[in-house]
Amino acid sequence: MTVAAPPLFPDPARLTVTDIAVARGGRPVFADLSCAVEPGGALRLAGPNGGGKSTVLRVIAGLLRPLTGFVAWDGATIADDPAAHAQRVAYLGHADALKSALTARENAETALAIAGRAPTGQSASERGRPGENAALDRAFALLDLERLADLPAAWLSAGQRRRVALARVIASGCPLWLLDEPTVGLDTASVAALERAIADHRQAGGMVIAATHIALDLGPGDESLDPGAFPWRHAESAVDEALV
């Protein structure tokens, strides 16, 4: 069932990545990498395993500082106000980050509350009730999680756990979704549901950057970027000096 999301982003902004270079564990990953995503846009990160896709996502999320270059939101570098950038990013990594003892719904509600993206002041018995968080209600409906909402995460399959993690992203209200292999463990119906969520998000003015090895449909006008196309040998001397 498709559940339409209301317009969320009346003040669109542009994301730009300018000449970033990254090394992990002293090993060069890429250099002079630049890209941009417009409001309502989508960017697919392509390339082989170990090519730097996850690293690009972590830099854009503000979780990893590049050796050179910068990431900017609406012209202001994210390093100037990391807290503000954290509030505009919904990041899905390889791990689903679920607590086994909590139910599917409690996991999503708790994660959103910790991030400041859910109603506050609820008692433990009130958290997780349908209607307490309309955005999460829509996400659970879209991903066919309603019947699993009261099950402990320990009982869920890998694909079901991934859907709970995705529901957290969909319900976040954040304009920028960063998705690292979001379809891992998902069946065909769940992939289709994710594609509908991405379409709704983009239509509302949101942005999506996804690292994926499958033909995930990000919608019309999506662009692709392979971090492997930005090898270290083309970097300026300042990058090499940063490693010393």
* Amino acid code (one letter) for 1: M
Residue with tokens 């919608």: 219
How far is residue 192's CA from residue 148's CA, in Å, rounded to a whole number? 19
Residue 45, classed as helix, strand or coil, is strand
pLDDT digits (tens, 9 = 90+) for 100-125: 999 999 999 999 998 887 554 343 44
For residue 137, the model assigns a pLDDT of 96
What letter would DSSP give residue 115? T
Alpha helices, DSSP H, located in 89-187: 104-114, 134-142, 158-170
* Amino acid code (one letter) for 51: G
pTM, rounded to two decimals: 0.87
Position 157 pLDDT exceeds 70: yes
Residue 9 pLDDT class (50, 70, 90 cuts): low
Domains of the chain: 15-243 (3.40.50.300)
For the chain, what is the mean pLDDT? 87
Q: Who contacts 161 (Cβ-Cβ below 8 Å, separation ≥6)?
A: 96, 98, 153, 185
Task: Work out the angle between the directed axes of helices 188-203 and 134-142 (0-180°, nearest 10).
Answer: 140
H or E segment to which residue 223 belongs:
strand 223-225
Handedness of CA 208, 214, 219, 223 (dihedral sign): positive
For residue 25, the model assigns a pLDDT of 83
Q: Who contacts 229 (Cβ-Cβ below 8 Å, separation ≥6)?
A: none
